[in-house]
A and B are shown apart, each in its own frame.
Chain A
Amino acid sequence: MRFDLDAQQREFQQSVEEFLSAECPLKRALAPHDHGRTDLELWRGLMSLGIGGIIVPEGYGGLGLGLLDLAIVADSVGRHAAPGPFLDHALGTLAIVLAGDAEQRDRWLADLARGAQRATVALAEGAGCWLADDWTLDPGPTLTGNKQFVPHAEDADLFVVGCKGGRLAVVIRGAPGMTITAVPSTDAGRPLSTVSFVETPCVLLEQSAGSRLVDAGLVLLAADAFGGASHCVEAAVAYAKQREQFGRQIGTFQALRHQLADMALAVDPKIGLYWYAAHTFDHEPEAVPLAAAMAKASLTETFPRIARRAIEVHGGIGYTWEFGLHVWLKRALFDQAFLGMPQVHRARVASLSGL
């Protein structure tokens, strides 16, 4: 038994870490919150490392790897609170891998793998309706209806739209009847829009893969949340070692040490949740819905709590805009709500585990 990353995965994660450490300093994570513009450059840099092809089959210029390989990138992306369309492009691409027929895969996958085209996903229908069973749009030759909270919709080339029965449809940028309305977004690093369709022409993907796509999204959000929460613990611990008050490091105060220990306890052991869910996605499909729901429920509930705690540990400076910890708190709120709140997934955990 080896429940751990292999050497190749560690090496790949290391290269992503190095890239993000160099290219995504705090200033860059904070920038979209300042000026509201999407950072596509950072995403293009990630794509140049080959992350766009991780889950794309080799025949289409991809690496033919698994969701775990993608999830460890999501972990790093969350750790650095890297702004940009990593999540939505990965899901849009995966939709075509999972549900496209040969012609549809031929048409898009190679471009998506190298980032020549960018995809996003249009799933939510409001009032917490995120899951494939909740989708109401009729999968016709044209689409009519609204989708909410679509990430990076402006300038996206492909929109993967969730339809009734878990079907997935692709709408191409500029299609008639499509309107994109940006909404003010808590996590400015991943700006959202409402997208409306009125008899908008679409390409219906061959397979009905909505639930599986959502499961993959849950895993990637969980991984992002793990990375983000880990960063918050590390930042708080580092600050406690450096900051002095009453003539000594505040990390020597037991009240604070215990808070930090509880924070680490809430985060560290949960890494296995997203690893396992990602692993099942590739190797044990029947185990995915439960594993993905547990990972999403648990990690995206933990992340905001830990981000709050980290800000609290920093005191006044933590509450300032420039110090930047709020970027992780806002990212945490995105991870928590996107694809459904933890309570929704716990209800699924209860049913899926036979309660």
Chain B
Amino acid sequence: MDLHYGPEHDAFRAQVQTFLREHWRSDMDAAAFRQQAVGAGFLYRGIPRQYGGSQQPSDILKARILVEEFERARAPMEVKGPGVQMLVPTLLERGAEWQKQRFIRPTIEGKFSWAQGYSEPGAGSDLASLRTRAELRDGRWLINGQKVWTSYALNCQYMFALVRTEPAASKHAGISYLLIDLDQPGIVIRPMKQITGISDFNEVFFTDAVTPADWIVGRRGEGWDVSKSLLKHERNMLGGIDRAEALYKSMVGLAKRVQRNGRPAIEDPWVRDQIAALKCELETQRLSSNIQISRELAGDPATRLQIMNKLAQSNFAATVSELSNALIGDDALLSPVGNNRPGNERWVNQYMNSLAAAIAGGTSNIQRNIIAERGLGLPREGGIE
């Protein structure tokens, strides 16, 4: 067992720190800073130079050092969202050369924004039953149907979508992966109000919408596989422990600020017990992430631990929510919506958002199915493919 990063990585950390000290100021334009960070080899490491990345050998420890140091300096990392996190890795693995050249660079520079067109009213957890259809007519795809829960679609120029192109084929084999320009008369986007009162996600209606014939990633009927392209994207292996750590810190801060029984809540034995339990859980996740990284480096991935990460994290967020709710007490009666200077009631939003974490990207019950099947080797439920 060796918990040191080793001289090469210690030197790398020093290099990152120096870079951040010399190049990052909080009043800077994020795009300009990112360009410099790409030049230094710190961002978009898995993306070839010709598409705007820094083309570095995959190194999960360096990826982690970068997250740690950029977080500490509060410097912007890669552009977030499904374009960079999902489409770009998919294009790199399965895209045509012209697609890579045309779409990757503007996407990672934040100039092209993408919506993810997967879920439909009748196809949520059972995504492969989706029914939005695309037919090839006169050299372009004619698209009809509806997508739902499409985050930020109103602000996006493009969508990557799963649509049914081979109605005669079996469920999974009839799906293709299309790229679609959202700015056209055949597409209507209607925002949906979420339980927080904010409208991040949308319904997207397609009525004879069109996209060119070659805006397909992979071949016809390969869409299901294409969407599952598991590119070895080093960031994806880190498991998101940084978010849990940030949440824990905010929670401790809250417990120090608010009062309970006339004393700072942090002095209350029950509160201390609850926070200590969270600390144990956070430490569990941190160490589990270390095991996953170590096994990845050794070429022997800890798959069973990896598939537990999402559920562990959404459970953690839910537990934090329960405690924060107890701590803010009466302030939970106040809404952060329509309030210019919300106080503790900001945690009401966190309380709601922690639910989104347990639903988006595969509900917690779907995560349990995955753990049961792929982790524990339990048989599938009858009739479910």
Other-chain contact of B290, A1, A240, A298 (Cβ < 8 Å): A1
Q: Tell whether, in the assembled complex, residue B369 and residue A6 are in contact, meaning their CB atoms are under 8 Å apart.
A: no
Whether B297 is near chain A, meaning CB under 8 Å from some CB there, is: yes
Whether B192 is near chain A, meaning CB under 8 Å from some CB there, is: no
- The 17 listed contacts between A and B (C-beta, < 8 Å) are A1-B6, A1-B290, A248-B382, A249-B379, A252-B381, A261-B371, A261-B376, A264-B371, A265-B311, A268-B288, A268-B305, A268-B308, A275-B287, A279-B3, A346-B277, A350-B279, A355-B266
Other-chain contact of A257, B2, B280, B368 (Cβ < 8 Å): B368
Q: Tell whether, in the assembled complex, residue A349 and residue B276 are in contact, meaning their CB atoms are under 8 Å apart.
A: yes
Q: Tell whether, in the assembled complex, residue B376 and residue A260 are in contact, meaning their CB atoms are under 8 Å apart.
A: yes
Q: Contacts A257-B381, A271-B291, A297-B276; is A4 near B371 (CB within 8 Å)?
A: no
Q: How far is the CA of A275 from the CA of B291 in the complex (A)?
A: 10
What residue in chain B is nearest A254 (Cβ atoms)? Answer: B381
Nearest CB on B from A324, distance (A): 22
Q: Which of A233-271 contact B (CB under 8 A)?
A: 237, 240-241, 248-249, 251-254, 257-258, 260-262, 264-265, 268-271
Q: Tell whether, in the assembled complex, residue A251 and residue B379 are in contact, meaning their CB atoms are under 8 Å apart.
A: yes
Whether A276 is near chain B, meaning CB under 8 Å from some CB there, is: yes
Whether A273 is near chain B, meaning CB under 8 Å from some CB there, is: yes
Whether B156 is near chain A, meaning CB under 8 Å from some CB there, is: no
Q: Tell whether, in the assembled complex, residue B287 and residue A272 are in contact, meaning their CB atoms are under 8 Å apart.
A: yes
Q: How far is the CA of A4 from the CA of B276 in the complex (A)?
A: 25
Q: Tell whether, in the assembled complex, residue A347 and residue B369 are in contact, meaning their CB atoms are under 8 Å apart.
A: no
Q: How far is the CA of A68 from the CA of B3 in the complex (A)?
A: 14
Q: Give me the 8 closest cross-chain CB pairs, A-B, nearest first.
A: A272-B287, A346-B276, A269-B288, A257-B372, A261-B371, A350-B272, A261-B368, A349-B276
Nearest CB on B from A116, distance (A): 31
Q: How far is the CA of A258 from the CA of B288 in the complex (A)?
A: 21
Other-chain contact of A260, B275, B281, B378 (Cβ < 8 Å): B378
Q: Tell whether, in the assembled complex, residue A279 and residue B1 are in contact, meaning their CB atoms are under 8 Å apart.
A: yes
Q: Tell whether, in the assembled complex, residue A353 and residue B279 are in contact, meaning their CB atoms are under 8 Å apart.
A: yes
Q: Tell whether, in the assembled complex, residue B381 and residue A2 are in contact, meaning their CB atoms are under 8 Å apart.
A: no
Whether B110 is near chain A, meaning CB under 8 Å from some CB there, is: no
Q: Tell whether, in the assembled complex, residue A252 and residue B380 are in contact, meaning their CB atoms are under 8 Å apart.
A: yes
What residue in chain A is nearest B293 (Cβ atoms)? Answer: A1
Q: Tell whether, in the assembled complex, residue B304 and residue A268 are in contact, meaning their CB atoms are under 8 Å apart.
A: yes
Q: How far is the CA of A269 from the CA of B302 in the complex (A)?
A: 10
Count of residues in B whose CB is under 8 Å from the partner chain:
54
Q: Tell whether, in the assembled complex, residue A5 and residue B1 are in contact, meaning their CB atoms are under 8 Å apart.
A: yes
Q: Which residues of A contact B291 (CB under 8 A)?
A: 3-4, 271-272
Nearest CB on A from B259, distance (A): 16
Q: Tell whether, in the assembled complex, residue A4 and residue B295 are in contact, meaning their CB atoms are under 8 Å apart.
A: yes
Q: Contacts A241-B378, A251-B379; is A272 near B288 (CB within 8 Å)?
A: yes
Whether B5 is near chain A, meaning CB under 8 Å from some CB there, is: yes
With A258-B372, A260-B372 already in contact, 11 other A-B pairs whose C-beta atoms are closer than 8 Å: A3-B287, A4-B295, A251-B372, A254-B381, A261-B368, A261-B371, A265-B312, A272-B286, A273-B287, A275-B287, A346-B272
Q: Which residues of A contact B279 (CB under 8 A)?
A: 294, 349-350, 353
Nearest CB on B from A31, distance (A): 31
Other-chain contact of A3, B3, B252, B380 (Cβ < 8 Å): B3
Whether A207 is near chain B, meaning CB under 8 Å from some CB there, is: no
Q: Tell whether, in the assembled complex, residue A237 and residue B297 are in contact, meaning their CB atoms are under 8 Å apart.
A: no
Q: How far is the CA of A265 from the CA of B311 in the complex (A)?
A: 8
Q: Which of B353-367 contact A (CB under 8 A)?
A: 365, 367
Whether B211 is near chain A, meaning CB under 8 Å from some CB there, is: no
Q: Contacts A264-B371, A346-B280, A347-B273; is A2 near B2 (CB within 8 Å)?
A: yes
Whether A48 is near chain B, meaning CB under 8 Å from some CB there, is: no
Q: Tell whether, in the assembled complex, residue A1 and residue B305 are in contact, meaning their CB atoms are under 8 Å apart.
A: no
Interface string of B22-33 (1 = CB under 8 A from A): 000000000000
Nearest CB on A from B40, distance (A): 23
Q: Tell whether, in the assembled complex, residue A237 and residue B376 are in contact, meaning their CB atoms are under 8 Å apart.
A: yes
Q: Tell whether, in the assembled complex, residue B2 and residue A350 are in contact, meaning their CB atoms are under 8 Å apart.
A: no
Whether B21 is near chain A, meaning CB under 8 Å from some CB there, is: no
Q: Tell whether, in the assembled complex, residue B295 and residue A257 are in contact, meaning their CB atoms are under 8 Å apart.
A: no
Q: How far is the CA of A347 from the CA of B283 in the complex (A)?
A: 16
Nearest CB on A from B30, distance (A): 30
Q: Tell whether, in the assembled complex, residue A237 and residue B269 are in contact, meaning their CB atoms are under 8 Å apart.
A: no
Whether B102 is near chain A, meaning CB under 8 Å from some CB there, is: no
Q: Contacts A258-B365, A261-B375, A261-B376; is A1 near B2 (CB within 8 Å)?
A: yes
